[in-house]
Amino acid sequence: MPFPQFLFPNSKFPSQVRNIFLFIRRYFNLLLFLFLQGFSIYLIVHNSRYHNAIFGSITNQLTGKVNEQFSRVEYYFQLKKTNDSLVKANAKLYNKLKADFELPDTTSNIFVDSLKVDSIETYRKYNYYPAKVVYNSVAAQNNYLVLSRGTAQQVRSGMGVIDPNGSVVGVVTDVSKDFAVVMSLLHKDSHIEGMLLKATRKQAHSAGMAWRPISLTFPGYRKVRKWLWETASYQVATVPAYQKV
């Protein structure tokens, strides 16, 4: 590393200061190495839960654009699967049509906020927005999804995400203009509160669930994982306080 000696003639500094400069010059590579390592570890520690606010939306937007291009190609390979899940979702929606019921639909009572004064009208509790998945990982330690829908399309961080079957997918943690990063259930810090609907009448189990993908020594690991999958696939988990996307 060239040292700008002409800027600091030796006579102007006391010897201690000169020694510092000499030290930096001598060990510049080591110091740079330590600095970069420290910066990386700072990023890791600082971002364990939420994505970095400074780089976050910029890198998010950039990687989102690239992801979108590739998901366009990939989308064709999944058309069959997409179609199947759409047929399923459609069937489910048909089953919910009010015109098909002769008696008042009592199942919709679940969604009525009882604190409201007017108990005859129903209120919309959740808004559902469709969004396309442009990136998804399942095998990493911390798994994320990226949706092609951002602040410009009414997505805020903290919203819940469900799949076509109504199962919980995760929570939006970071939003840029056109893309949203979703912390999936398969994330170390993912805590989704769940409730078993069948058991709610008398003994309402309520538990915070956490995904522990690699703790092989964790005693109830298999049980927890099985329960988590069952809960997710039988759509009994509810996401409180979040607006569903």
Partner 1 sequence: MNTLVKNIVRFALFILVQVYVLDKIHLHQMVTPYIYFLFILWMPFRMKRTWQMLVAFALGFTLDSFHHNPGFHAAACVLIAYIRPFLVNLLIPQEGADTNYEEPSFKSMGGFLPYFIFTGVLTLIHHGWLFLLEAWQFGNIWYFIFKTLLSTAVSLVLIVVTELLFARKQSFRTNTA
Please give the Cα distance from 85 to 144 (Å, whole number).
21
Look-up of token digits 């005693």: 219
Which of 5, 90, 127, 137 binds partner 1 (CB under 8 A)? It is 137
Output 60 or 231, the one with its CB closest to partner 1: 60
DSSP 244: B
SS3 of 198, please? helix
Query: Helix or strand or coil: residue 178?
Result: coil
37-to-29, 44, 49, 59, 158 alpha-carbon distances in Å: 12, 11, 20, 20, 31
Using CB under 8 A, which of 22, 41, 53, 87 touches partner 1? Answer: 41
Q: Which of 5, 37, 82, 119 binds partner 1 (CB under 8 A)?
A: 37
Q: Which is closer to partner 1, CB of 40 or CB of 233? A: 40
Contact letters for partner 1, residues 159-188 (x by CB under 8 A): ---------------x------x------x
Query: Per CB under 8 A, does 53 bind partner 1?
Result: no
The continuous run of DSSP H or E covering 50 comes out as none
Within 10 Å of residue 202's Cβ, how many Cβ atoms?
5
Residue 229 engages partner 1 in binding (rule: CB under 8 A): no
Q: Where are the beta strands (DSSP E) in 67-113?
A: none
Shortest distance (Å) from residue 111 CB to partner 1? 33
Residue 97 near partner 1 by CB under 8 A: no
Binding residues for partner 1, rule: CB under 8 A, are: 1, 28-29, 32-33, 36-37, 39-45, 47-48, 51-52, 55, 59-60, 62-63, 66-67, 70, 135, 137-142, 144, 146, 174, 181, 188, 213-217
